[in-house]
Structure 1
């Protein structure tokens, strides 16, 4: 029987409800802490819980928290505030990307870079498997997704080793796979490695491809069966918001509406409404972006309400379910 693994236990996919497909809740990345970049430190349990409450009030039920260990994960805090807010959270096993690895891996007494370099592919896979089957961060809270990432138009030797180890962990556990792409680059190269390893691309969700709104690239990725996490909403520093809508509707026109999901990727204090910085917060997508998308989809001849249900309710039930 298919199931989704949350920080509070396994649930039926049908119990997920409205889902954000990529976000961050509470995290203290060691690299950004060492560099003194306070905006990237989501270190207030109270403020983060208030954000989850905004999400729930807006109609949200489940969030995939894409925070891996190298991005300052603390699943104990996340579980506590998620349960207090009445939100289901799926936690991340695995890793983010090499740019984060100069940060200190406190549990191992080394930088992530040095620790990863010293590990074999098998040892890294065992680490990720244990995060899924036993627990993370010294707890019995298990990961519900295995994750890897690559850099901006780069894929380092260590990132490839981690990627392959994460795919090994997927094969052993059946956990869904999530990938970070820096500004939407290297997606096809990631997919080449999935094929090489015999992993079905339909088990992978690729994040941040909306930061590279290349129609040809999106079509080629979609043809593999992989899921898209459109998670750059509000980032008008990259391009106007309607570009994302056009990318989504292109996928629908090409017959790939079953592969689209939506998230916020909120990872800065200035993006939250509850950290005192005046940000839009976790309720914004449901309260403001969804009505806008429905209107724009309708103007283009689509049933926007039906599409939103597909993107935020139905598709996550498949993307985040463990396989047999």
Structure 2
């Protein structure tokens, strides 16, 4: 009989409250932002003038975000979802510039009873804090490794995935290449999987090219937001490269093209803003086709729900919140011939495999 090595590493998933046996996890929402459920801190109470007032306002906003997240997660257990991956990068989607408020995710997890996995990443240049814009690949790599091994921004909350690492609309900038290379190098040092952001599904193949240059195993990569790309054949080309893909905007049928923060005074009067639409009927049709073609083992599902997009999608996110995917979208898939085993693969087996180190 072969003797087992007692010192062999034990597979685990790193959550905000500590490492967890992968066998304990149920279904997973693989791309969310739990601290971005309100449009901004102006909705919180308690603001007064001066430094004390600013501190009080920030604390009130933190409390509000925690309460909102705990309430929003309350209905997930009924659908077998017990894990949420928060892919908020430094300085965006509810994460502060240094990642210190990642500590709030620990309180949300304990109060809601939901496992939460925190990602770490830099984001697009216009939305990034000054320290990220000034840092080189080596510094950002060191930061990601520290986030995984010690904790994000001094919060003590260790990252369990690298993401969401972005590229822009129809381009990959030097800033974005820097973030992708840093994530790739941190992946080799930590074993964490990489989850990316594509802007409306563009530049996925270019992301893969760069990660392959860095010798990243494509099976440890999730290319995000591909449910928003208009061409199904493009998704097939991405899948042919051996990566995983995410249909992670479920319920986000209407949204505005996100513009960089304005730095110059803007003139009064009407402004043109590009809006986009992707119906969930189209998402379900395309996803069912990909599953029928044998791709279920490399597809993940989520909603990418945030406060502003709740307002733009009152019949989906606005009515159902985090339950929409399970309560409404999964039945749409079953009507199109996807079976329960395939749903379980996309909602449980695939994300747990990627989160396990």
Provide TM-score, normalisation by structure 2.
0.77
Deviation, structure 1 residue 37: 10
CA distance in 1, matches of 2:31, 2:327: 17
What is residue 49 of structure 1 aligned with on the other side?
70
Q: Is there any run of 5+ residues in structure 2 with no aligned partner, and where?
A: 1-9, 45-60, 96-100, 255-276
Of 19, 26, 32, which aligns to 2:35? 26
What is residue 112 of structure 2 aligned with on the other side?
85
CA offsets 1:65-91 (integer angstroms, 9 cap, x no match): 111222132221111011111100010
CA offsets 1:35-58 (integer angstroms, 9 cap, x no match): x799xx995211111011122233
What is residue 253 of structure 2 aligned with on the other side?
236
CA distance in 2, matches of 1:289, 1:252: 15
CA offsets 1:223-257 (integer angstroms, 9 cap, x no match): 12211111121233323322112221232233221
What is residue 136 of structure 2 aligned with on the other side?
120
Does residue 132 in structure 1 map to residue 159 in structure 2? no
CA offsets 1:260-290 (integer angstroms, 9 cap, x no match): 11101001256289xxx95431112112222
5 Å matches for 1:307-322? 307-322=342-357
CA offsets 1:143-176 (integer angstroms, 9 cap, x no match): 0011211111121111111110111111100011
Q: Is the 8 A contact 2:245 2:298 kept in 1?
A: yes
What is residue 7 of structure 2 aligned with on the other side?
none
What is residue 103 of structure 2 aligned with on the other side?
76
Deviation, structure 1 residue 10: 1.1
What is residue 123 of structure 2 aligned with on the other side?
96
Does residue 206 in structure 1 map to residue 227 in structure 2? no
Of 321, 325, 336, which aligns to 1:281? 321
Q: Is the 8 A contact 1:4 1:320 kept in 2?
A: yes
Deviation, structure 1 residue 115: 2.0
Q: Is the 8 A contact 2:284 2:329 kept in 1?
A: no
What is residue 310 of structure 2 aligned with on the other side?
271
Q: What is the aligned-residue RMSD (CA, Å)? A: 2.4
| Secondary structure class of the residue paired with 1:183 | coil
1:239–1:93 Cα change, 3 Å: closer
Q: Is the 8 A contact 1:52 1:282 kept in 2?
A: yes
1:181–1:47 Cα change, 3 Å: same
| Secondary structure class of the residue paired with 2:207 | helix
CA distance in 1, matches of 2:79, 2:140: 39
5 Å matches for 1:253-272? 253-268=292-307, 271=310
Q: Is the 8 A contact 2:125 2:175 kept in 1?
A: yes
Q: Is there any run of 5+ residues in structure 1 with no aligned partner, and where?
A: 102-111
How many aligned residue pairs are there? 298
| Secondary structure class of the residue paired with 1:280 | helix
What is residue 294 of structure 1 aligned with on the other side?
334
CA distance in 2, matches of 1:320, 1:251: 23
Q: Is the 8 A contact 1:227 1:319 kept in 2?
A: no
Does residue 218 in structure 1 map to residue 235 in structure 2? yes
1:191–1:80 Cα change, 3 Å: same
CA offsets 1:206-228 (integer angstroms, 9 cap, x no match): 11000003122111111122111
Instruction: Give runs of ≥4 in structure 1 deviating > 4 Å.
Output: none
